[in-house]
């Protein structure tokens, strides 16, 4: 628990990751979401699903880079997982460090509060009275987290609970650990 | 260091990549593609059996700096002519390298960690690669070849 994840995250971000123009990234994501909204005729539930599934496919691939660059071993508990996701994972790929909050008593659930969401920098949701209620604009993150954690044998429910874009005071993602997929942990770890 | 051969196994023990380096002069026999599959599957099984034989640790496992999560499984095979090392990532990917005698374990481990890094770039980020399927990515092959020559 005492490991300096903040420093590790900064080091990996500074020295070992490729950087791109953040506006290119933000605008690309924006046009993907806008296109999905058009494709699904503003059926935002479908858009959310589609974003999550795209994120999932990213997550199951991205985890490999995360492991190759950080050399982390298995976490001893979900608290450590939370620390690593926020201080190293988000730092490395999005250069932001969400706050870990609301850890449940059983240690299986927490919220990530994104003070600064690079995906949504220039975004205002369409004012059709539906988008603000139904669309989770950054839902791709939910899929990424779910996919990445599943590849390290953690079955986790991930969902957005708040989004500044919808008028909430903050942007929050909730993660709940369902179970550790013990049968799928590769032999030989310990 | 001289790497003779590199194998990549997916988490169920299927061979997804196999390559010999400078095959005409490297002192390792070429096998049929079926034999490579058998070799891979056998190593995967022995690895799991060895892990099963190992009693639970009574001491904390040492922090390692390479990302190799292979703590209790089959780790190394020594023969008259070469050594074989097994590296495993947290996702269950196995990287197996056959190297010349005299190459240290650290060097081999570093090589395999670098292969993992190349894999994460040129295989996982190739949008047309299907997970757990044989790797037919030319970019990955080129990078691995360069790495084997450099290390």
Chain B residues lying within 8 Å of A61, measured CB to CB: 124-125, 131
* CATH class label, B3-150: alpha beta
- Tell me which residue of A48, A50, A27 sits closest to A130, measured CA to CA: A48
Residues A86-118 have pLDDT tens digits of 999 999 999 999 999 999 999 999 999 999 999
Shortest distance between the Cα of B105 and any Cα of chain A, in A, equals 17
Shortest distance between the Cα of B25 and any Cα of chain A, in A, equals 32
Predicted local confidence at residue B60, as pLDDT: 56
* Subunit contact B119:A68, Cβ cutoff 8 A: yes
Q: Is B110 exposed, middle or buried (0-12, 13-18, 19+ CB in 10 A)?
A: middle
* CATH number (domain holding residue A68): 3.30.1380.20
Predicted local confidence at residue B54, as pLDDT: 85
Q: Give the integer Cα–Cα distance in Å for B40 and A26.
A: 43
Q: State the pLDDT confidence band at A41, using cuts at 50, 70 and 90.
A: very high
* Subunit contact B90:A188, Cβ cutoff 8 A: no
Number of domains in chain A: 1
The verdict on residue A15 lying in a domain is yes
- Tell me which residue of A41, A184, A74, A134 sits closest to B64, measured CA to CA: A74
Sorted by where each begins, the domain ranges of chain B are 3-150
In this structure, which long-range contacts are made by residues B104-113, counting pairs with CB atoms below 8 Å and at least 24 apart in sequence? B105/B76, B107/B1, B107/B151, B108/B1, B108/B83, B109/B66, B109/B68, B109/B85, B110/B66, B110/B151, B111/B1, B111/B3, B111/B147, B111/B148, B111/B151, B112/B68, B112/B85, B112/B87, B113/A68, B113/A71, B113/B66, B113/B67, B113/B68, B113/B87
The verdict on residue A120 lying in a domain is yes
Chain A residues lying within 8 Å of B51, measured CB to CB: 187-189
The verdict on residue A188 lying in a domain is no
Q: Given the cut 0.85, state whether the ipTM is greater than it.
A: yes
- What is the overall mean pLDDT for chain A? 94
* Subunit contact B91:A67, Cβ cutoff 8 A: yes
Q: How much is the average pLDDT of A164-187?
A: 94
Predicted local confidence at residue B56, as pLDDT: 76
Predicted local confidence at residue B2, as pLDDT: 87
Predicted local confidence at residue B28, as pLDDT: 85
Closest CB from B69, B91, B125 relative to A151 = B91
Predicted local confidence at residue A188, as pLDDT: 85
Shortest distance between the Cα of A135 and any Cα of chain B, in A, equals 26
Interhelix angle B105-122/A44-70, nearest 10 degrees: 160
Q: State the pLDDT confidence band at A4, using cuts at 50, 70 and 90.
A: confident
Predicted local confidence at residue A1, as pLDDT: 45
Q: Which residues of A10-43 are buried (b: 16+ CB within 10 A; e: fewer)?
A: bebbeeeeeeeeeeeebeebbeebeebbeeeebb
Q: Provide the residue range defining the domain that includes A139.
A: 5-181
Q: Give the integer Cα–Cα distance in Å for B148 and B29.
A: 18
> Higher model confidence: residue A183 or residue A50?
A50
* Subunit contact A65:B121, Cβ cutoff 8 A: yes
Q: Which of A3-7, A17-21, B32-36, B57-61 shows the highest mean pLDDT?
A: B32-36
Shortest distance between the Cα of A71 and any Cα of chain B, in A, equals 4
Predicted local confidence at residue A180, as pLDDT: 94
> Higher model confidence: residue A14 or residue B27?
A14
Predicted local confidence at residue B61, as pLDDT: 57
Q: Give the integer Cα–Cα distance in Å for B10 and B93.
A: 5
pLDDT in tens, chain B (151 residues): 689 999 999 999 999 999 999 766 767 888 999 999 999 999 999 999 999 998 876 655 555 567 888 888 899 999 998 999 999 999 999 999 999 998 999 999 999 999 999 999 999 999 999 999 999 999 999 999 999 998 7
Res A52 pLDDT > 90: yes
Predicted local confidence at residue B50, as pLDDT: 92
Predicted local confidence at residue B59, as pLDDT: 54
The verdict on residue A187 lying in a domain is no
């Amino acid at each position: 628990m005492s490991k300096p994840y903040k420093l590790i995250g900064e080091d990996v971000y500074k020295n070992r990751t490729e950087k791109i123009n953040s506006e290119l990234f933000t605008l690309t994501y924006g046009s993907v979401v806008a296109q999905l909204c058009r494709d699904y005729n503003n059926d935002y539930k479908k858009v959310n699903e589609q974003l999550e599934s795209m994120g999932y496919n990213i997550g199951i691939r991205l985890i490999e880079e995360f492991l190759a660059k950080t050399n982390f071993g298995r976490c001893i508990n979900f608290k450590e997982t939370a620390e690593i996701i926020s201080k190293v994972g988000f730092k490395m790929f999005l250069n932001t460090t969400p706050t870990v909050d609301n850890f449940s008593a059983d240690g299986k659930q927490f919220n990530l509060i994104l003070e600064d969401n690079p995906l949504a920098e220039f975004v205002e949701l369409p004012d059709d009275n539906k988008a603000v209620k139904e669309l989770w604009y950054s839902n791709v993150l939910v899929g990424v987290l779910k996919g990445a954690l599943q590849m390290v044998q953690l079955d986790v429910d991930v969902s957005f609970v708040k989004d500044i874009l919808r008028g909430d005071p903050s942007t929050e993602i909730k993660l709940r650990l369902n179970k550790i997929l013990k049968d799928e942990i590769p032999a030989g770890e310990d | 260091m001289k790497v003779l051969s590199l194998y990549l196994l997916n988490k169920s023990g299927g061979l997804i990549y196999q390559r010999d380096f400078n095959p005409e002069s490297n002192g390792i026999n070429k096998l049929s593609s079926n034999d490579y599959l058998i070799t891979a599957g056998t190593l995967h099984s022995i690895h799991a059996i060895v892990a099963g034989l190992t009693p639970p640790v009574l001491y904390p496992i040492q922090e390692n700096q390479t990302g190799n999560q292979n703590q209790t499984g089959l780790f190394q095979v020594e023969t008259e002519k070469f050594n074989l090392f097994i590296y495993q990532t947290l996702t269950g990917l196995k990287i197996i390298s056959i190297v010349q005698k005299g190459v240290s374990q650290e060097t081999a481990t570093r090589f395999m960690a670098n292969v993992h890094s190349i894999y994460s770039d040129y295989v996982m980020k190739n949008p047309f690669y299907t997970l757990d399927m044989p790797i037919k990515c030319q970019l990955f092959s080129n990078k691995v070849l360069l790495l084997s020559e450099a290390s």
